Amino acid sequence: MRSPLTAAGPVAGLVTATIMGAAAAQAQDLTVYTYDSFVSDWGPGPQLEAAFEDRCSCDLEFVAAGDGAALLSRIRLEGERTEADVVLGLDTNLTHAARETGLFAEHGLSPELDLPVAWDDAHFLPFDWGYFAFVHEAGFDAPGSFRALAESDASLLIQDPRSSTPGLGLVMWVKAAYGDEAGAIWEGLADNIVTVTPGWSEAYGLFLEGEADMVLSYTTSPAYHLIAEDDPTKAAAPFEEGHYMQVEVAGMLAGTDAPELAQDFLDFMTGPAFQSVIPTTNWMYPAVTPPEGLPEGFDTLIRPEAALLLAPEEAAEIRGAALEEWRAALSR
């Protein structure tokens, strides 16, 4: 809040500002920065805002900032002067860098999570997760591994890891599954890749236009078509190496002026009111399965045998080299 300077001069203005600042804190505003599609009218945002405001008698404001990476950039640009109390929508590829900023506080919560991997992070708490997967038309005879894919004629649409979350997820997937052989896998895949798009929307749009046999997306993508469009013709290909996970998290800012409220929001986030909204708005798995279970249709999805996920520190450490392997292999 900017201080309204009165005629009495800056001292009086400062006093006014302090009083008004205190008043604002009493009114309990909670500002949550999140990615853009979360707050869109058909995302989870509107329902969750209403549900939380019922519970807290406060004013919850979502502020949208591009995607997860843009979200972190914005927090970094704003630094300690940020208005955010909570940031929702980072993933494990970003949490290391986010932690390094020193801007995040520990959440102090330990809910029971339904994640395929153990979760132990003092700063960030998951709200949903999913597996990356190649999505194809139901009738297509999809390969069952990266090696089989490389040897097949199947054409592929992927996203650029430098500008897209799934794109980076795929690089991490290959790295987590193949380690030092990742470069060779990419060289094998090079002739299958039709093109590399800047974001998920472009690749998925191209796939629906019939530009390729498969597109990098999530195992939950067919659920959207089945549930929202009553269209059972999309499927995800199970890969025997296992599937890399995306775990989406939230954290509270150390500089928040409403720490209790922020913590209350994080507590709400893993509760049933929040979690039951996630599957059919964000089209991801909820971090805590709600009491009524998953919506009908989710039972038709493939459940990978192995869940792959690099720890945030490890992901941050190998990212540069993994990216260079990817670039070198596909630039031939």
Partner 1 sequence: MAGVAGAVLLPLAAVVWRAGGAGWLSAGDWAAVRFSLTQAALSALLSVALAVPAARALARRRFPGRGALVTLLGAPFILPVVVAVLGLLAVFGQGGLASRALGLFGLPPLSIYGLHGVVLAHVFFNLPLATRLILQGWLTIPAERFRLAATLGLPPGAVFRLLEAPMLRRAVPGALVAIFVICLSSFAVALTLGGGPRATTVELAIYQAFRFEFDLGRAALLSVVQLALAGAAAALAARLALPPAMGAGLDRVTPRWDAARPWLRAQDAAWLALVAAFLLLPLAMIVARGLPGLAEMPPQVWRAAGFSLAVALASTALTLALALPLASRAGEGLAIAAIAVSPLVLGTGLFLILRPVASPGAVALPVTAAVNALMALPFALRVIRPELEAVRADYGRLCLSLGLRGRWFWTRVALPRLRRPLGFATGLTAALSAGDLGVIALFADPERATLPLQMYRLMGAYRMEAAAGAALLLLAMSLALFWVFDRGGHGA
Site residues (vs partner 1, CB under 8 A): 36-37, 39-43, 45, 62-66, 69-70, 72-74, 76-78, 81, 83, 97, 155, 160, 162-163, 190, 193-198, 200-202, 204-206, 208-212, 221, 224-225, 228, 283, 326-327, 330-331
Distances (CA, A) of 155 to 66, 134, 169: 29, 11, 19
Q: How far is the CB of 175 from partner 1 (least distance, A)?
A: 16
Cα 104 to Cα 92: distance, rounded to the nearest angstrom: 15
* Residue among 83 and 267 whose Cβ is closer to partner 1: 83
Q: How far is the CB of 73 from partner 1 (least distance, A)?
A: 6
Question: What is the identity of the amino acid at 108?
Answer: G
The three-class DSSP label of residue 136 is strand
* Residue among 2 and 7 whose Cβ is closer to partner 1: 2
* Residue among 31 and 275 whose Cβ is closer to partner 1: 31
Q: How far is the CB of 235 from partner 1 (least distance, A)?
A: 15
* Residue among 68 and 238 whose Cβ is closer to partner 1: 68
Q: How far is the CB of 208 from partner 1 (least distance, A)?
A: 6
Cα 58 to Cα 193: distance, rounded to the nearest angstrom: 49
* Residue among 148 and 194 whose Cβ is closer to partner 1: 194
Hey, what are 227's tokens? Answer: 């549930």
Cα 313 to Cα 54: distance, rounded to the nearest angstrom: 38
Cα 160 to Cα 147: distance, rounded to the nearest angstrom: 21
Residue entry with tokens 């979760």: 119
Distances (CA, A) of 167 to 101, 121, 164, 227: 24, 24, 5, 26
Cα 157 to Cα 178: distance, rounded to the nearest angstrom: 21
To 5 degrees, how large is the angle CA 102–CA 116–CA 171?
65
* Residue among 117 and 227 whose Cβ is closer to partner 1: 227
Hey, what are 193's tokens? Answer: 């890749």
* Residue among 1 and 118 whose Cβ is closer to partner 1: 1
Q: How far is the CB of 320 from partner 1 (least distance, A)?
A: 9
Q: How far is the CB of 34 from partner 1 (least distance, A)?
A: 9
Q: How far is the CB of 202 from partner 1 (least distance, A)?
A: 5
Residue entry with tokens 């992070």: 121
